[in-house]
Amino acid sequence: MNTYLRQIRKRLRLIIQALRGFCLIIKRLLQEQFNKNIYTRILFTNVTAFVFGLIVLMMFSSFVVKEVTYDQAQQELLRKAKRVNFALLHQTDQEWGTVPASQTSDQAQGKQDLLKFLADIFDARIMVFDRAGNIMGTSVEQEIVPGSKVEEKFVEILNKGEIAITGSVDQETGQPTLIAVVPMGNNKDVIKDGILLETTTSNLDLALNKMRLYLVIGGMVILVMIIVISVYLAMYISRPISRLATTVAEISSGKYVVNIEDQPLDEIKALTGQLNKLTMTVQQIQEENRMAQDERAQLFSEISHELRTPLTAVQGFVEAIRDGMVQDGALLGKYLDTIHTQTIHITRLVDDILALSRLESGNITVEKLPLDLIVLAQGVVISMEGLANSKNTSILLEKKTEDATVIGDVDRMEQIIRNLLKNAIRATENGTIRVDMESRQGEVVLTIADNGIGIPPDELPHIWDRFYRVKNQRSNYVQEQGSGLGLVIVKKLVQLQGGKIDVASQLGKGTIFSISFASFTQK
């Protein structure tokens, strides 16, 4: 026996596990379908909501109809009971106070015929009983067994003198029935007997079944309409999204603009507008990256070219010295001087490249503090007089204002003035360099003018390019080779401190550089 019970428990556990696994599989499949796309999500949501609403509606309708119908049936049964009472009171030839055992057969048959007649009229089973519960008469075609009584609850209702309606279930048919208990007589009479009317509510069940059938049929029709509407709505929503997804996929092929007018929904239009902004930003970033890569490649090419020339010269002279090809002491000294000059040039070129790289990457910060350009320029001029005198050139500083205070970085400002003076000295021999300081409409303007070889008009726009050198028209004036980065560095340092730089030049007459900064007093 115990073995048999254990086997049953084991099988039940297996069945429960199988059902649980089946439920999990169904749940996972439903979740996958629900999250698959917008079609299934809208369709599943609408159908589920409608089915749930239909079930709730059917339950609520059944409850309401049943309650209303029961109430109407009770009121109708109560009216029938009162009319039966009225009819029995006006039958003077019938006496209801005697039990059936003491009645003659004619009297009993007459009472049953009367009750049967009333039962046919009012479509209900009628029974008369006394205060002890004894059945005095019934409309049912059956012989009343002596001592037959009604249920005790009906007796209690009669003894209270109340009118009540109760419900029960017919044991034979299983149909719900309504039973009305009414005291026989009027309010003036002493209540001795009671009337019991019983009727079935089969019409109610039929009405409920018909209502449910109509709801199911109507629900199926509405469900089909909901499915059609859901599919259309899903297509209406998902079609522009699919087109938008296709357009996004085309971005990689170079198409960066999405047509907003083709989108039917405001939300899709807003999304398309944001996508257009994003794609334009991406396009701009890609263009900047491409330009940066081109500039980087060009910079590497220019650096290689600039370094190759001095390195080739140094390598050639070193190889000649190493191989013992130079025996003359004077020639050897000349070679060593050239090597020294080229290494200085390489060092200067590398320093300028590093400085320019830091400026372009934004790694250089400037301190913005008040400084006096007059004092700063005087110090730079004094330090550069030795270099200028070596070329028989003089530097003159002229002040046209007493207040040349600006906001800037002392070190960077000194670097600007020094580079411009160095270029002027390099381009001038046996000449004069003028450094002027003046105020113009809230600005302090520093001008460095020389009367050197000048710059050809066709080359003037290119002096701000990296590694660009002006072609020498008077080679006997040039004794020092520049890196081609000095003016680029100067311009970036000026812009970094909020200033402006301009240049004017005439070939054979000289060059004028002007830098201007907002006056500190003006701020």
What is the extent of the structural domain holding 505? 365-518
Measured distance CA(356)–CA(292) in Å, rounded: 15
Q: Are residues 23 and 98 in the same domain?
A: no
Q: Are residues 398 and 502 in the same domain?
A: yes
**What phi and psi values does residue 134 have, to the nearest 5 degrees?**
-75, 135
Q: Are residues 25 and 159 in the same domain?
A: no
99: CATH:
3.30.450.20
Q: Are residues 22 and 97 in the same domain?
A: no
User: For residues 316 and 467, which has the higher predicted lDDT (pLDDT)?
Assistant: 316
Measured distance CA(155)–CA(136) in Å, rounded: 13
Q: Are residues 24 and 155 in the same domain?
A: no
Q: Across residues 466-478, what is the average pLDDT? A: 52
Mind listing the pLDDT tens digit for each residue in 65-87?
A: 777 777 887 888 888 888 888 88
206, 234, 264 - which closes a domain: 206
151, 182, 206 - which closes a domain: 206
Whether the predicted model's global pTM rises above the 0.75 cut: no
Residue closest to 472 by CA, chosen among 514, 429, 442: 429
Q: Are residues 7 and 102 in the same domain?
A: no
**Both tokens assigned to 215:** 């709801």
Q: Are residues 138 and 14 in the same domain?
A: no
User: For residues 338 and 31, which has the higher predicted lDDT (pLDDT)?
Assistant: 338
* Max Cα distance, the chain (Å): 174
Mind listing the pLDDT tens digit for each residue in 33-51?
A: 556 566 677 777 777 788 8
Strand 164-169 versus strand 500-506 pairing type? unpaired
At 299, the pLDDT band (50, 70, 90 cuts) reads low
Range among 109-118, 125-134, 189-198 rated most confident: 125-134
Q: Are residues 507 and 386 in the same domain?
A: yes
Q: Are residues 19 and 115 in the same domain?
A: no
Report how many domains make up the chain.
3
The answer on pLDDT for 29 being more than 60 is: yes
The answer on pLDDT for 434 being more than 50 is: yes
pLDDT on residue 156: 82
Measured distance CA(221)–CA(203) in Å, rounded: 27
206, 240, 267 - which closes a domain: 206
Q: Are residues 422 and 510 in the same domain?
A: yes
Give a yes or no: residue 283 inside a domain: no
pLDDT on residue 478: 37
Would you give the DSSP letter of residue 132?
Answer: T
Tokens 């339950």 belong to residue: 59
Give a yes or no: residue 68 inside a domain: no
Give a yes or no: residue 164 inside a domain: yes
Measured distance CA(360)–CA(354) in Å, rounded: 10
